[in-house]
Structure 1
Amino acid sequence: MNTIANEQAAEVRTTCPYCGVGCGVLARVASDGEVSVRGDPDHPANRGRLCSKGAALGETMGLEGRVLHPEVGGKRADWDAALDLVARRFSEAIAEHGPDSVAFYISGQLLTEDYYVANKMMKGFIGSANIDTNSRLCMASSVAGHRRAFGEDVVPGVYEDFEEADLVVLTGSNTAWCHPILYQRILAARHARGTKIVVIDPRRTATADECDLHLALDPGTDVLLFNGLLAHLARSGAVDESYVAAHTCGFDSAIQVASADAPTVEKVAAGCGLTVADVRLFYELFTTHERAVTVYSQGVNQSAHGTDKVNAIINCHLATGRIGKPGTGPFSVTGQPNAMGGREVGGLANQLAAHMSFENPADIERVARFWNAPKMARKGGLKAVDLFQAAGDGRVKALWIMGTNPVVSMPDAGRVRAALKACDFVVVSDVARTDTTRYADVFLPAAGWGEKDGMVTNSERRLSRQRPFMPIAGEVRADWRIISDVARRMGFGEAFDYANPARIFREHAALSAFENAGERLFDIGALATLSDASYQAFEPRHWPMPIGHEANERLLGDGWFPTPDGRARFVPVRQEGFAQTTDAAYPLVLNTGRLRDQWHTMTRTGAVPRLMANAPDPVIDLHPLDAAARGLSEGDLAHLSTRYGFARAKVRITNAQRPGQAFLPMHWSGHFAGAAAAGQLASPVTDPYSGQPELKQVPLRVTREQTAWEGVLVTRRDLRPTGFVHWSRQRVSGGWVYRLGGTETPDQGILLARKFVEVFRPDQLLEYRDRKGLTYRAAAVDEAGAMAEALLVAPLGQLPACDWLVLLLGSRQPLAAMDRHALLSGRSPSPMPSVGRIVCSCFNVGVNQLASAVASGCGSLEAIGKTLNAGTNCGSCRPEIRAIIDAGRVQAAE
């Protein structure tokens, strides 16, 4: 019997599969198969807390949407046939066109062991470095900046530094939503010891809700701001001259460029779109607070000049010696659970395993000898954007995509779709169907979270285990096994004869120590002899872990850097012109990013009703002035276009946006909306050092769609609407809610929408249409008399709320005759309180409940928490709750 089945009653310690915080999770499977999760109180990353997404992990474990067997040409196949075909087609391409004619595109969702095997196969045995990862879209600029400054991709600090700092600078990071557990640790330090918080972001995000200073700088001006800081440090005598002299080089060049680029606070303020007073305050805070941490993320990295932005930040910390010491340092927070682990094994096309480099011939030979690899790649491969261009123009003949959805997430996504259509042979291994899997000649079903077994590394270099707590579903297999099975079929035999992930990990650890002699900081050689039992029992630990040495958790604090002369490098950088500028045709600047409760392209989180409830529709945020100039009102459907494609989204008008800027969430795929993917609009222009694309500053045009009708379909059925100008869907208890709309006349809209009503018997179906033919209602009950489906169509602005219908769908309770007729109105025949849009996803608390509590006297976050629990878990909803409290006070005053 499966050992997992024997231990169903026990909690299993594992790691969350979402962001790079790397939270510990305790998972339990009940006798009826229901999965429950809670935060691991003993895991040092989260100490028992989970964000809204992590807390809902147990609700993502169903088999809906899973593919449980291989497919070839869209039809079920057995594993041998599928793997034989993959191996044959890759081998044929290599034999006819050379090793660079094939490529892998992999993911930060993979475990370290999966990543390692894929990297070894491509770079060591196929003989090409055409293996890149979706981490190219999020952390590549940090990698490049670290390597330029430190000589190696090293994050010096640990999470405890956030709590020991006197100043935390959050730049390009909506930490409150994207890394909420870390944000709560920062806020706890603020309340306990008065830590100052500066937020640098063009938008007023939830992160700016509790800060001492918000710098809403113009997009793309980060280098100017930090060059100004470096120049200010020099002018004010705040440079640690002894540290700079003993442990760095290049300071004079860096300060000369920075001083020319940002000679005065006034010039910095004018160039960044900030006030002189705010810039001066930021510089004084950084100068006078010795313990300062600068936390940065995608707002810095996702730029055509992201690497320069990273080095501008690092320069300021090197100049003051604030690196590797408690409460100090530049700190890159990663977006994916194993982005760091992927970097450790060389998952990027321009890197070798174990932090070795293609730029160093000795490193190439070293890895080749360790792997006994006869066809070792000798140069870097194609980075993500270039890789898909090569697939489109025929240079890449066979492409294997693992655990990611580039058809949605890549910039210029229309070209990516065209590339996959054009590519001779496409393999996709994934957990579920996505927009990308439809282009697969072969689909290989991979194990998902709860089934996977391996290691991940979080943003602070802490290794943790992901452990399985559910049996493997259907015929799915672990990624490392799938890759190894293909490698053996391609003739690579013994090099991929792995029995389990522990054996792979030991090899990975041994490579990190191989001929290292302390030259590379990434060294986990002490784990190379880890037994299978010790691997299973592994407790979270930071690297490095060299053999025979007890390494410090923080790195670089001793002033030694892994460069040829042991010194850090100042990198002179200057504020460059923008990759693309706005003009009369595209006058706005588009920014993209995450929503609070969603993850990537919503493959997992989109299946959870309470995670969909806060933001159920794709929405573009605009400043009131920009909306007014375009004749747009709240809720209007907008047509969005850039030089690369178009999308549609509803308008949300907010002062959180600065004039001239717009924000569109990154998550919406073709599974959840008709045309709302941010990748369709994003720019493929990349950073010359990191290859990371510009996703934060894309010229945009916004116009109003002349929508004439709208509709809502509440149903149990999983549909893919076609033929509509706009549609989106939201998962609810018991089924789905589809929101439809179009530019046709309402009577034509009714004809379109009626096509989606299921065929019911006359005695099950109720219908109504008004005399003018502009309004239509239909509802159907099942054999037991419970509502099965309801469709409401009306001219724009005349659609009733459907809260009651959604409740009925979830309840599946038989309806009385009176209630059946009430279905056509969409309203309950008896008064029914509505919770409204969900604000607190952790406890399913709606806006109406919060407003009622405020009206009843709950005038603080603490009072709301005691009454409704809202805001007491991950805290990411607290800014919105505070806004409701403030609105209640204003209303009471009036």
Structure 2
Amino acid sequence: MPEPVQEKSTKTTCPYCGVGCGVIARVSNDGTVSVKGDPEHPANFGRLCSKGSALAETLDLEGRLLYPEIGGRRAGWEEALDLVAARFSQSIAEHGPDSVAFYVSGQLLTEDYYIANKLMKGFIGSGNIDTNSRLCMSSSVAGHRRAFGSDTVPGTYQDLELADLVVLTGSNLAWCHPVLYQRLAAAKASRPEMKVVVIDPRRTMTSDIADMHLAIAPDGDTALFNGLLTHLVTSGAIDQNYISAHTHGFAEAFAAASALELPALTKATGLTEAELRDFYRLFETTEKVVTCYSQGVNQSSAGTDKVNAILNCHLATGRIGRTGMGPFSLTGQPNAMGGREVGGLANMLAAHMDLEKPRDRDLVQRFWNAPGLATKPGLKAVDMFRAVAQGRIKALWIMATNPVVSMPDADAVETAIKACPFVVVSDILRETDTARHAHVLLPSLGWGEKDGTVTNSERRISRQRAFLKAPQEARADWWQLAEVGRRMGFGQALGHTSPAEVFAEHAALSGFENDGRRDFDISAHAAIDHDSYDALSPFQWPQPRGTAPQEKRFFAEGGFYHPDGRASFIPVEAPKANTGSDGFPFTLNTGRVRDHWHTMTRTGKSARLSSHLAEPFVEIHPRDARAIGAAHADLVAIESPCGIVVVRALVTERQAEGNLFVPMHWNDQFAAKARIDALVAPVTDPFSGQPASKNVAVRAMRFAAATYGFAVSARKPEGLDAPYWAIAKAEGGWRMELAFAGDDADWIGWSRRVFSIPHEIEPIGYTDRTSGELRLAFFDGDKLLAALFLSPQPVAVARNWAVTQLGVSHANLGKRFAVAAGRPGADKPDPGATVCSCFSVGANQITAAIRDGCHSVEAIGEKLSAGTNCGSCRAEIRGIINACLAAAAE
């Protein structure tokens, strides 16, 4: 673990989703770190999700990149920075500024983002800086700008609690924004008359609090909200005064929306006429409505149109900018919003200005004193990596992201990066799917070590503060960029000495010649000094010069940012339904799970977070599973024209027929073949450039294996050569799922090699020739080194119990055979699959509590603590209760 700065409590901000929760980190006398929610932070009021609660478990130095590397050898900072500057300068001199590019991340702090944008657009003179936020939020940005004239989120989190109807579309809030979900759930519990509608092809855990779940067809959102607009007009529910005073283009938008009549709407949305009427009537008759949308809306080839279809309904009813009502874009990453504020997207400038507008370019150019400011938008993410593949980009700097896993057509992206003449990667880990192809690796600071600001989904800027010293030679991202810029001859413009100075300049630019013309203005902080920056409390923008912090909603009385001050209704047409293509009959939907984050470089370090879902999986409807010959826990191969993955079958009626869901987190560090974005074609929205990750034509088939395996090991396995493997951190070691093409290997020799077992240690175990099962366990004295369980079918082993055996003494020789058998004795009940990660409570423990009379989620919480921290598992607990009680009633 990095060395603690000092023994005290530090208020900082969680580095995960866009909720932006406040965290209090405490470093104890022995150097260990603990975290808890900050009860004074207005985003979470002390709540944390399972990922936030486990932050202290991810701070070790295992796998960290601790010094610069050039070509795989250790180098000093001077040599590495000189090389980066020289190669970028050489490329610019020989091929022009558009021959270089930065690909950055919503994991960066605003100060890092600002310097990256200033260096590339202001002084290199190219727009070729884009961000992985392009993959999650750019359709919201484009929709906001088309409608409002600015990338403005009008409302606040409090609106979700004060609304009478909350519509969640394309948002699995319970798993992707858990603390916000808990705020909504608490509000609904206190006001049962509040209604919640969940619009999602899957019945996700968010549906646990839904009064209505609409299992919409993939990409049916535009048709659904066009139908809603038509209904609002025909039922007389629009606000004609608001439309007349503050908008234009209503007639054209209504004409486009009304093109589909009710029968056509049912086909486009996959919903019944009754479902449509019920939803439309509920929206019509409820004034205080908030519509939340996230990746399920944005990650589409029609994502921007979907956003505008939603905004049209709120503009038409005047339900915007007032308490408890409005459209609300839920940001995916911790600082995607901050990146948008400083121009992190290829088509934007800092302070919400537009690279395509001469007036904005002139303003920024004068403020930065940048004679070579870019004059046109750069390449968006998909086009950027296409340009790398074509050889048009000669030098590429990737910061705090892992595009070989997260980009669509990920295999092609990897091939492009491998062929690029010069690749720099700034990261905290030495081994990622992307870092392995870098010519230069630069060690960055991680959470707990870096200092700066982030902006959450409700426009609230909070400090991330360092409470750990930088480990060895790791340095801040903004510093790396400024040092390279200085070596390229731009030192006067990049002479910042601290993140406070960067933030002050960012704030000053936001107010420069603003006068209310732009939405983003934090010029009240333009003269901030180091002490005030250190003490900065969370505040919501805008905060112009001379004003105090305030809670701000936009557009209740108009005041939009188009030149005429009006909002624009955008006519949108529903896309044609995807009926699949020949040979690819299923629709693949990708997304997140509860306890993991992005490509697992952080959460993969936590045994607790890996215990809930320890391997990649596909949610598949029972009838679809039968059709491809797969049973629960079988392996399934999923293929598209771009690639193939192999994952575990999770057979569930939560999934709609014809649709598959696979999470996006697993990568080559944790699984044999599970980079799901290798299947996603590089199809993008024409306005935002955002890839379509929710509607991918694929085929699926059972993956035949001769032998299945499960293993636990005290040491990380090395050289896994199985057709299928997935590893996860466990308490005291590692756990892994395996599948092999044959059944006649030298399993003892294989185990010695993979688990690093000394040759003098002999295993105990057995082979059952009738069942084909094999069990091996290796002990060094009373310590379990590894255990391997093999079977012709998916292995039936008490997995969580087996994992715990790595950390206990096995002095009793007789009980060692229980380990080899994979089943605990009567005195050691198997907790079952983990349901509550916060308190490590398993399904069998919950079932036992139900038998003892705990028939509610609250009763389970009182007995086992499950569901009483972040609450993300409450829906799963409720499902177990309902299943047990239903079975008992039969």
* Common fold: TM-score over 0.5: yes
Does residue 872 (structure 1) correspond to residue 883 (structure 2)? The answer is no
Partner of 1:546, secondary structure, is: coil
User: Do 1:201 and 1:214's aligned partners in 2 also have CA atoms closer than 8 Å?
Assistant: yes
Q: Distance in 2 between matches of 1:771 and 1:348?
A: 61
Measure, in 2, the Cα distance between the counterparts of 1:531 and 1:478.
19
Q: Could you tell me the percent identity over the aligned residues?
A: 56
Question: 1:553: how far off?
Answer: 1.1
Q: Residues of 2 paired with 1:892 and 1:682: CA distance?
A: 44
The verdict on how the C-alpha distance between 1:381 and 1:720 changes in structure 2, with shifts beyond 3 A counting, is farther
Aligned equivalents of 2:799 and 2:141: distance in 1?
48
Q: 1:533 maps to which residue?
A: 531
After superposition, the Cα gap between the structure-2 partners of 1:437 and 1:190, relative to the gap in structure 1 and judged at 3 Å, is: same
**Is 1:291 aligned with 2:296?**
no
Partner of 2:476 in structure 1? Answer: 478
Q: 1:322-362 CA distances to partner (integer Å, 9 max, x unpaired)?
A: 11110111000000000000000000001111111122111
Aligned-pair CA distance for 1:753? 5.7
Write out per-residue CA displacement over residues 358-388 of structure 1, whole angstroms, 9 at most, x where no aligned residue.
2211111111111111211000000000111
Alignment of 1:175-574 (within 5 A): 175-193=173-191, 194-260=193-259, 262-263=260-261, 265-432=262-429, 433-549=431-547, 553-574=552-573
Q: Distance in 1 between matches of 2:761 and 2:172?
A: 53
Cα distance, 1:785 vs. partner? 3.0
**1:834 corresponds to 2:830:** yes
Give 1:518 deviation, angstroms: 1.1
* Amino acid aligned to 1:891: A
Q: Deviations over 1:185-223 (max 9, x none)?
A: 112221222211111111100111111111111000110
What residue is the counterpart of 1:81 in the other structure?
A: 79
Query: Alpha-carbon deviation of 1:712?
Result: 2.3
Q: What is the alpha-carbon distance in structure 2 between the residues aligned to residue 183 and residue 148 of structure 1?
A: 29
Q: 2:25 aligns with which of 24, 27, 33?
A: 27
Contact in 1 for aligned 2:718/2:754 (Cα 8 Å):
no
Maintained 8 Å contact 2:4/2:31: no
Give the 3 Å change call, closer, same or farther, for CA 803–869 of structure 1 in structure 2. closer
- Distance in 2 separating the partners of 1:754 and 1:76: 31
User: 1:549: Cα distance to partner?
Assistant: 4.1
Distance 1:750 1:587, change over 3 A: farther
1-side partners of 2:138 and 2:755: how far apart? Answer: 47
Q: Deviations over 1:416-449 (max 9, x none)?
A: 1100111001000011131111011100000000
- Paired amino acid for 1:414: D
8 Å CA contact 2:824, 2:830 repeated in 1: no
Counterparts of 1:696 and 1:15 in 2: how far apart (Å)? 30
Q: Secondary structure at the match of 2:618?
A: strand
Distance, in Å, in 2 between the alignment partners of 1:845 and 1:773 is 32
Q: CA deviation at 1:711?
A: 1.8
Post-superposition offset of 1:735: 0.6
Q: What is the match of residue 588 of structure 1?
A: 586
Q: Please state whether the residue corresponding to 1:504 is helix, strand or coil.
A: helix
Give the aligned partner of residue 893 of structure 1: 889
Alignment of structure 1 residues 408-807 onto 2, 5 Å: 408-432=405-429, 433-549=431-547, 553-577=552-576, 581-747=579-745, 755-763=753-761, 765-766=763-764, 768-769=766-767, 774-782=772-780, 784-797=781-794, 800-807=797-804
Distance change >3 Å, CA 457–CA 876, structure 1 → 2: same
CA, structure 1 residues 598+413, in 2 after alignment: closer, same or farther (shift >3 Å)? same
Superposition TM-score, scaled by structure 2 size = 0.97
Structure 1: how far apart are the matches of 2:74 and 2:572? Answer: 54
Give runs of ≥4 in structure 1 deviating > 6 Å.
748-751
Following TM superposition, by how much is the alpha carbon of 1:817 offset from its aligned partner in structure 2, in angstroms?
2.8
Q: Indicate the residue corresponding to 1:884 in structure 2.
A: 880
Map of 2:165 onto structure 1: 167
Offset of 1:869 from its aligned partner? 1.2
Amino acid at match of 2:511: A
Amino acid at match of 2:468: M
- Cα contact 2:798–2:830 (8 A) shared by 1: no
SS at 2:492's partner residue?
helix
1:807 and 1:489 mapped to 2: Cα distance? 53
The code of the aligned residue for 1:598 comes to H
- Does the Cα contact within 8 Å between 1:711 and 1:753 map onto a contact in 2? no
Q: Any stretches of 5+ residues in structure 1 without a counterpart? A: none
Instruction: Name 1:852's counterpart in structure 2.
Output: 848
Q: Is the 8 A contact 1:750 1:793 kept in 2?
A: no
Distance 2:141 2:722 in 1: 43
Could you tell me which amino acid in structure 1 is paired with residue 812 of structure 2? A
- 8 Å contact kept, 1:746–1:795: no
Distance 1:345 1:814, change over 3 A: same
Structure 1 counterpart of 2:789, one-letter code: L
Residues 71-110 of structure 1: pairs in structure 2 closer than 5 A: 71-110=69-108
The 3-state SS of whatever aligns with 1:737 is strand
Report if aligned partners of 1:747, 1:774 keep a CA contact under 8 Å in 2: no
CA-CA distance at 1:834 after TM superposition: 1.2
Deviation at 1:581, TM superposition (A): 4.5
For 1:886 and 1:774, the matched residues in 2 are separated by 37
Distance 1:668 1:6 in 2: 33
Give the SS at the match of 1:362: helix
Cα distance change of structure 1 residues 769 and 860 upon mapping to structure 2, 3 Å threshold: closer
Q: 1:555 Cα deviation (Å)?
A: 1.3
- Shift of the 322–797 alpha-carbon distance from structure 1 to 2, 3 Å rule, reads closer
Which residue number corresponds to residue 117 of structure 1? 115
- For residues 773 and 850 of structure 1, what CA distance do their matches in structure 2 show? 31
Shift of 1:805: 3.5
Matched, 1:50 2:48: yes
Secondary structure of 1:498's match?
A: coil
Of residues 816-825 and 68-77 in structure 1, the stretch that sits farther from structure 2 once superposed is 816-825
Report if the CA contact (8 A) 2:604-2:729 is conserved. yes
Q: Is the 8 A contact 1:742 1:749 kept in 2?
A: no
| TM-superposed deviation, 1:779 | 2.5
Name the TM-score, length of structure 1 as normaliser: 0.97
8 Å CA contact retained: 1:746, 1:794 = no
**SS of residue paired to 2:35:** strand
**Aligned CA distance change for structure 1 residues 827 and 211 (closer, same or farther; 3 Å):** closer
2: distance between equivalents of 1:177 and 1:797? 28
Task: List gaps (5 residues or longer) in structure 2.
Answer: none
**Alpha-carbon distance, 1:270 to partner:** 2.9
Q: Deviations over 1:2-57 (max 9, x none)?
A: 9x95731x211000000000000000011111110000000000000000100111
Q: What CA distance in whole angstroms lies between the structure 2 residues aligned with 1:853 and 1:165?
A: 36
Residues 448 and 466 of structure 2 are in contact (CA less than 8 Å); yes or no, is this contact kept in structure 1?
Answer: yes
Following TM superposition, by how much is the alpha carbon of 1:720 offset from its aligned partner in structure 2, in angstroms? 4.3
Matched AA of 1:166: D
SS in structure 2 opposite 1:756? helix
Q: Which moved more, 1:59-68 or 1:38-47?
A: 59-68
The letter for the 2-side match of 1:249 is H
TM-aligned CA distance change 1:235 to 1:773, over 3 Å = closer
Give the superposition deviation at 1:844. Answer: 1.2
1:170/1:440 Cα in 2 relative to 1: closer, same or farther (>3 Å)? same
1:552 Cα deviation from its structure 2 partner: 5.3
